Amino acid sequence: MSIPNPQPGQPGQPHQPGPPNPYQQTPNPYQQPPGAAAPQPYGQPPGPYGQQPGPYGQPPAPPAPPAGPRKPTPGWVWGIGGAVLASALWAGGLFATGNLGSGDDAEADLAGYQYKENLCDVSPLDGFKKKYEVDTDSTSTTHYGSRQKGFDLSYCSRKLKDPEENADSYTSIYVYSTARWHKATDPAGEFASEQKAYEDQSQKTYTYKTKAVSGIGDEAYLVTDTSGTDEKSLNGMTLAVREGWFTVEMRWSFYGGGPDDKIEPPTAAEVEEMLKTDVRAEMAGLKKG
* Cα Dmax for the chain: 158
Question: Has residue 200 been placed in a domain?
Answer: yes
- Which of 185, 168, 172 has the alpha carbon at shortest distance from 246? 185
What value does the mean pLDDT take over residues 270-286? Answer: 97
For residue 47, the 8-state DSSP code is B
Question: Has residue 186 been placed in a domain?
Answer: yes
What value does the mean pLDDT take over residues 93-106? Answer: 46
Banded model confidence at residue 260, pLDDT cuts 50, 70, 90: low
Work out how many domains the chain is built from and give that number: 1
Question: Has residue 91 been placed in a domain?
Answer: no
State yes or no: pLDDT of 265 exceeds 90: no
Question: Has residue 92 been placed in a domain?
Answer: no
> Which amino acid makes up residue 86?
A
> Which amino acid makes up residue 263?
I
Question: Has residue 181 been placed in a domain?
Answer: yes
Which CATH number does the domain housing residue 182 bear?
3.40.1000
Question: Has residue 61 been placed in a domain?
Answer: no
CA angle 267, 275, 254 (to 5 degrees): 50
Q: What is the pLDDT of residue 84?
A: 43
Banded model confidence at residue 231, pLDDT cuts 50, 70, 90: low
| Residue-range definition of the domain harbouring residue 171 | 119-288
Q: Tell me if residue 278 falls in helix, strand or coil.
A: helix
Question: Has residue 93 been placed in a domain?
Answer: no
Question: Has residue 270 been placed in a domain?
Answer: yes
Give the tens place of pLDDT for each residue, 161-187. Answer: 998 887 777 889 999 999 999 999 999
